[in-house]
């Protein structure tokens, strides 16, 4: 740094690194405060998510949980960025009635077919979303429910599948 002095218009001098009195420079503390607030707001918005079903995303852990609790399994296959999967994720799975019903009745397993393609192949999934239900100790599937359904219809269809699953075999 230089110790040179700048001559001001009134004839006085000031060190070179000191702004002239007419210039307004925001204080460093104010700038840090502004950046911290902006960071906080960004973190809040990025981490805030809508309430949704408490999905099990590990297929094998979900099967084991269903066996231990002796609850039927809801298998939900989706593919990111497909319109009907997006609508289902945003509108159906976030509905309070759907959340309460699914969590009370099923062990819900959510399968992203891009991340778990071997499981999607096992169930021959080629339409998104696709839903099946099954007993915890059986490979017999009930369904499929294909595509987007609004919350009320989704619950109705799940109840219909449960009736079929629980009906005595003929």
Domain ranges of the chain: 59-166
Q: What is the pLDDT of residue 47?
A: 44
Predicted TM-score of the model (pTM): 0.70
13-17, 48-52, 108-112: which range is least confident on average? 13-17
**How many CB atoms lie under 10 A from the CB of residue 64?**
14
Sheet containing strand 73-78, edge to edge, reads 107-112, 73-78, 130-134, 141-146
- Greater model confidence, 33 or 89: 89
pLDDT band per the 50, 70, 90 thresholds, residue 30:
confident
The DSSP result for 154-170, as a single string, is HHHHHHHHHHHHHSPP-
Q: What is the pLDDT of residue 137?
A: 92
CA atoms within 13 A on the CB side of 18: 10
CATH number of the 59-166 domain: 3.40.30.10
**How many CB atoms lie under 10 A from the CB of residue 154?**
22
Residues 67-98: tens digit of each pLDDT: 999 999 999 999 999 999 999 999 999 999 99
27-41, 57-71, 94-108, 121-135: which range is least confident on average? 27-41
Sign of the C-alpha dihedral computed for residues 146, 161, 95 and 73 taken in this order: negative
């Amino acid at each position: 740094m230089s110790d040179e002095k700048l001559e001001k218009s009134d004839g006085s001098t000031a060190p070179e690194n000191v702004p002239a009195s007419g210039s307004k420079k925001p204080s460093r503390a104010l700038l840090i405060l502004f950046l911290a607030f902006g960071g906080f707001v960004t973190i809040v918005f990025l981490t805030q998510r809508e309430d949704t079903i408490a999905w099990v995303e590990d297929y094998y852990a979900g099967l084991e949980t269903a066996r231990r609790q002796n609850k039927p399994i809801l298998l939900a296959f989706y593919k990111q960025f497909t319109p009907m999967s997006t609508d289902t994720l945003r509108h159906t799975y976030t509905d309070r009635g759907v959340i309460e019903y699914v969590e009370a009745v099923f062990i819900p397993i959510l399968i992203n077919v891009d991340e778990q393609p071997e499981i999607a192949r096992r169930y021959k999934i080629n339409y998104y979303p696709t839903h099946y239900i099954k007993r915890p100790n059986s490979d017999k599937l009930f369904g499929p429910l294909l595509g987007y359904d609004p919350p009320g219809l989704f619950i109705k269809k799940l109840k219909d599948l449960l009736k079929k699953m629980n009906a005595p075999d003929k």
